[in-house]
Structure 1
Amino acid sequence: MNKTWKLAAAAALWGTAVLAVPATAGSLDPSSVSARPAPMVVAQAGAAAPAAHAPGAPEAGHGPEGGESHGGFPPFKPANYASQLIWLIVSFGALYFLMSRVTLPRIGRILEERHDRIAKDLEEARLRQAESEAAHVAYEKALTEARGKANAIAGEARNRLTAETDANRKALEASLNTKLADAESRIAATKTSALSHVRGIAVDTTNAIVTTLVGAGAPQQDVEAAVDAALAAKSN
């Protein structure tokens, strides 16, 4: 890229230098050349006596070679227009050739490469965005499935614990009922046994009381009948 612009600048400078050459050469006007005296005539005039200056003749030091120029700026003279136009066309053609064949194609390739790179980056960004959206959807789906599985596992655990608790409660109630029934049976047996002993004790106590009060023992059957009647009345 820099080399191309250097070549274009060198071509422009070369064209400018070439344009300056015919302009300098054109400063020698044909009229001024024809106005110069011939060398031979000047030599003959030097051999003769110095003549007076003719009216209208150019004075010494005021001619074209005396330092004073006539005719204005050379590039503005009509006689130099043709060469200037030719070199302008040549320089413009060279510059156009360099620009069209070297610079502009490189710039076009650079712009095309940038366009392709930008399009590739945009396409890659779209792909990454699509992948990100797909990953987000998959994440949401996995999260929903995980929540469902967690709820199912929690429900199963809750149901299992409830079932186990019910089973343990029922087993404990059955065991307690069994133990309660055994206790009631033992209590009833103990009560029956105690009552039987109480009757015997009551009969013996009654015999002893009657013997103490009366001085003689009462019949055993009468004492037992009296004790049974008293126990029956107390239980009612």
Structure 2
Amino acid sequence: MFERRERSTDEAERQQLLEAIVEINIEIARGIAQRFRNRGPDPDDLEQVACLGLVKAVRGYQLSANTPFIGYAIPTIRGEVKRYFRDCAWTVRIPRRLQELQGAISAKKPLMAQEFGREPTKAELAAGVGAEVEEVDQALAAYGCYAALSLDRPESDAGRSLVDLVAEDHDPVLDQLEAVDILQPVLEDLCDRDRRILHLRFVEGWSQTDIGADIGVSQMQVSRLLRQILDDLRRKLRPSAAAA
């Protein structure tokens, strides 16, 4: 569909293909939005932002990049949701400079308190984050403007913010989708016998002896065939992995 959309000069057809690609991948966007729930913004708003990120990914994806679409889409969608939290998820709107300063103060303040053995003064905080005392005063006064706990506030003394942890958290479902997306084209190039060997070994869990009996070869030959198949798959996947 991406190839057809790239070749097409008919805007109506291009739009139909875009909508079809979005519909096929909509669960990826919903899955990412789901992981940001219960953090203040309305869940429907989060899903809409994630879907807009998916549309942006479809529009921006280039076949010439040799990168699997899902490997491009996931960080694009996460980036849109992350921006939404930083720019829009406020009950009372304050300048972006103060939003960023709040995050910097939250990360620096515990470290300074540990170093000094007491709470730092506003002047010390200002020096620590590279701001004016008046700006620090304004940023401190604006705390609580998030609808929920600010994702820019640190999760620990190490200074990592909650939004960073959420964005980078391991998601086996997304990993599986990415693996399927990368493997599918190279698996389609395999002959029927090689695909059956892989299916019996890694899906059905058959032993090499049982596989040999099924396809009419010895266990040693199955072992050799498996090694050849897997080496060939690794060789074919290596350029895509480098591009990703």
Superposition TM-score tier, normalisation by shorter sequence: under 0.3
TM-score relative to the length of structure 1: 0.23
Larger Rg belongs to:
1
